[in-house]
Amino acid sequence: MHEAASAAQAPDSKLFIDVAAGLITRPDGSLLLAERPVDKPWAGWWELPGGKIEAGESVLDALARELKEELNIDVTESTPWITYTHEYPKNIVRLSFCRVTGWTGEPSGMEGQRLAWVDPHQTLPVGPLLPATEPPLRWLRLPDHYLLTSIGNHTGLDSFLEKLGTALHKGVKLVQFREPAWAAAGSPADVYKAFQQVAQRCHDAGARFLINSCHPEEWWKHADGVHFRAGDAGSAAALAYASAMKASTAAPAEPAAAPANTSTSSRHLIGVSAHTASDLAAAQALDADFVVLGHVLATPSHPDVAGMGWERFSDLAAQAGRPVFAIGGQSPRTIKTARQYGAHGIAGIRFLEI
């Protein structure tokens, strides 16, 4: 992560502050939230622990220092996750959210603040949430494995469904129907039949099911969301879909006293494939829920094209402002490395073999 000063003057005269914030999670998935102390702005609101990045500090070093000061814990394992900018009435805060999965000591409120372990997948027992805390709690509910279909044609459907069933049984919870070659050369009726059967298998297993934008728009409403190819993300169809989704999930400008905690399972998702910074800008314009970035490593689907590598992936992921899945040469064996470089999770077609 880049080093940064704790605060600077933004062009519109608002104070610009760099903050490191930690998503401290136990093995059971519970997440630690802290209440803002009475002597600080937004007192009584709940947030992710963390604080300002001092000059010369890396994000992870700043987070470790802040968590020692605030909670009296020593961080032993943390990874960068999402960098997100939020504008408040009096300042602009750039939050470097990091996942903290290892520490020593028992968290305690060293500033007199209350703490709570919560299940981010359920309605929260505390609130209200600080506005900038709401997006990462929503993002945290996304699965960390994203499976893309690879049926090919109607003769491969039965075999694919069998493998899909095994993958779903092993825990895959996010699937994209993506069959561009079949759609171009095969019978639309056969492709749609496969689409319906894959959707049914996913929903029976409690998995979310997205459709790739290469398939007809009239099919999109029958999926749990749309994954837009990089070339489609700026299209009129993509913008119209995103606008309709935003209107259907519109929330009040100010958070209610009770925590909203809108679940990703109750809303249609928007994913975008990205390879460049301009692709990421298109994803931001759609307010996409996540991005798939790559390809990172050598992959059979692009045998003659070198991967961007983990360093380039990390640089681009830090610009996304939302969860990023790494794609290209990925498998369950690479997910730890992917997270070290800022990935939310991994995407690919070979999870069927796990």
CATH of the domain at 38: 3.90.79.10
Q: Which CATH number is 218's domain given?
A: 3.20.20.70
**Residue 250: predicted pLDDT:** 60
Question: Tens of pLDDT along 8-19?
Answer: 555 567 899 999
> How does strand 324-327 pair with strand 345-348?
parallel
| 137, part of any domain | no
Closest CA to 137 of 284, 272, 23: 23
> Is the domain of 151 the same as that of 116?
no
Q: Are residues 200 and 332 in the same domain?
A: yes
pLDDT at 186: 87
Phi, psi at 214, each rounded to 5°: -70, -15
Same domain? 243 vs 199 = yes
Q: What is the pLDDT of residues 290-344, one digit of tens each?
A: 999 999 998 877 777 889 999 999 999 999 999 999 999 999 899 999 999 999 9
Q: Decide if 89 is inside a domain.
A: yes
Asked if residue 173 and residue 96 are part of one domain, the reply reads: no
Which of 244, 285, 283 lies closest to 267 in space, CA to CA?
A: 244
Whether 175 and 115 share a structural domain: no
Cα pseudo-dihedral 272, 278, 284, 288, rounded to 10:
0
265, 266, 335, 353 from 195: Cα distances, Å: 20, 21, 28, 21
Domain span at residue 235 reads 145-353
Q: How far apart are CA 67 and CA 64, in angstroms?
A: 5
Domain assignment present for 135: no
Contact (Cβ atoms closer than 8 angstroms) between residue 346 and residue 323: no
Check: CB of residue 292 under 8 Å from CB of residue 248.
Answer: no
Residues 153 and 121 in one domain: no
Question: Is residue 139 a part of any domain in this protein?
Answer: no
Residues in the chain, pLDDT under 70: 1-12, 250-266, 351-354
Q: What is the pLDDT of residue 241?
A: 96
Looking at the 3D structure of the chain, how many domains does it have? 2
Q: Reduce the DSSP state of residue 83 to 3 states and report it.
A: strand
The DSSP code sequence of 133-180 is GHHHHHHTTS-SEEEE----SGGGHHHHHHHHHHHHHTT--EEEE--H
Q: Both 291 and 197 in a single domain?
A: yes
Q: Would you state the pLDDT for residue 39?
A: 86
What span, in angstroms and rounded, lies between the C-alpha atoms of 137 and 119? 10
The per-residue pLDDT for 350 is 76
Is there a single domain that holds both residue 204 and residue 264?
A: yes
